[in-house]
Amino acid sequence: DGELKTWAGSLNPVLSPVFVKEGAGYTQKVIGSTPLLTTRESLEALDAAVKAYDLGHGYWPTRSVTERIEHVERFLAAMRQRRDEVVKLLMWEIGKTLKDSEKEFDRTCDYIVDTIKAYKDLDRNSAKLVEEQGFMAQIRRVPLGVSLCMGPYNYPLNETFTTLIPALIMGNTVIFKPAKYGVLLIRPLLEAFRDNFPKGVINIIYGRGRETVGALMESGKLDVFAFIGTNKGANDLKRLHPKPHRLKAILGLDAKNPAIVLPDADLDIAVSECITGSLSFNGQRCTALKILFIHKSLLEKFLEKFQAEVKKLKPGMPWESGVSLTPLPEPGKVEYLQALVEDARQHGAQVTNENGGESLHAFFYPAVVCPVNDKMRLYYEEQFGPVIPIVPFETDDEPIQYVVNSNFGQQVSIFGTESKRIAKYIDAFVNQVGRINVNAQSQRGPDTFPFNGRKDSAEGTLSIADALRVFSIRTLVATKSTDKNKQ
Ligand code: G3H
């Protein structure tokens, strides 16, 4: 009801993946708790969003562009004041390094600024009148309705805001369910939301998916489902909506992005891009390189350099300087990665780097696994962690067939210098994936670039201008001229 109250219902403890030294050993700490909403409470949030969207009440969608932007700008100013708290929680909740946590916060602020700019352009364009075959037409860009926005734990601030902000700016009202890990960091922003948006425009819910989000879906009152996470999570929820054709899905899902290193590749570039591509934030990025196809002619040299670079990566606590390998926030992740490596071993692969696959508490030391083939789980499954499968190949057809036959189609990276051969790969992939990178790792940025994917990897395009388009629809007002000479 617009008040930040002390929660009287049940609470869900939040555990940090960071183990703290206590006496002779290390313990895992509960660093906070979140409310566990009941179905009734979750539906109350939905009602508030429906009411705020209701066109009859002169609410959010009918506010002028200038007014909506003012709200967002005020929110941004309040958010900037909470940088330190949010950054600290990013480190404690998801184990992101200090440098990357600061980067995530600043990138999110920049994203808001750029989205406002893009909105002003979009609005100017849609206000134009077009005269055509006796019609005076105006195409108005209008919001879609009540949007549920859910983001992933690896970018709990940035990726949730890449749907939340364009949804709000376009005039949609929002129900926002923070990521399961990376949920406490929303707390410092609650007052900023409450104080800077009209009641009901943004509603934050917490709790178990089935009781909360499941109930929202079943109500049939949601117009947009913006979800960045796993295919399973998206499908389980989507199918609960009674009229799926009335629900617009905007999805960023699983990926298994390959790198293909050709015989004529610049090895230093390929190694350095593959290191950051596969191991930034311990490989926990949907855009990470998740399988490396290395031409047999340079396999030995590649492995030698790649392993030397892995060795330079420093494990430690997120706030320690120079650290890049940090604890993994997902419970059970270490065991899952161990099982993938063991499966590969049983099918004839080896962990080729020193200490590869060793673990302690929530830490997992990167494992370079070679040679990986199609008998192994690592060939297909999205590991979302620090395990790097290496597939040696001889003919161009092998990596091309991998991409063509994959269920996923987010990105691919090609490393090489022979332009004809690269062009052949680009032609083979242009209808298979959302982005082809040449001599560069896979990634989302720059944020002005379209971000999407094919097959099971995505639905709808995000980025700054694209996201504004995806959260809106163009309605045509076509006035026929009554001037007989013009008809
Ligand atoms: O987890 C998926 C994110 O979209 C990755 O974004 O490539 O900027 O790290 P990024």
ipTM (interface predicted TM): 0.97
Separation CA 469–CA 122 (nearest Å): 9
CA within 13 Å, CB half, 54? 11
324-345 pLDDT per residue, tens:
999 999 999 999 999 999 999 9
Is residue 101 over pLDDT 90? yes
- Summarised one tens digit per residue, pLDDT across range 245-284 is 999 999 999 999 999 999 999 999 999 999 999 999 999 9
Distance 245 CA to ligand 1 centre (A): 29
Summarize pLDDT for 189-238 with one digit per residue, the tens: 999 999 999 999 999 999 998 889 999 999 999 999 999 999 999 999 99
Q: pTM to 2 decimals?
A: 0.95
Q: What is the mean pLDDT of the chain?
A: 94
How many Å apart are CA 275 and CA 75, to the nearest integer? Answer: 37
CB 470 within 8 A of CB 461: yes
**The pLDDT value given to residue 57:** 66
* Contact yes or no for 205/102 (Cβ under 8 A): no
Region 413-427 average pLDDT: 98
Output the CA 158–ligand 1 centroid distance in Å: 9
| 449 CA → ligand 1 middle, Å | 13
CA distance 378 to 380: 5
Pocket of ligand 1 (CB under 6 A): 154-155, 159, 285-287, 443-445
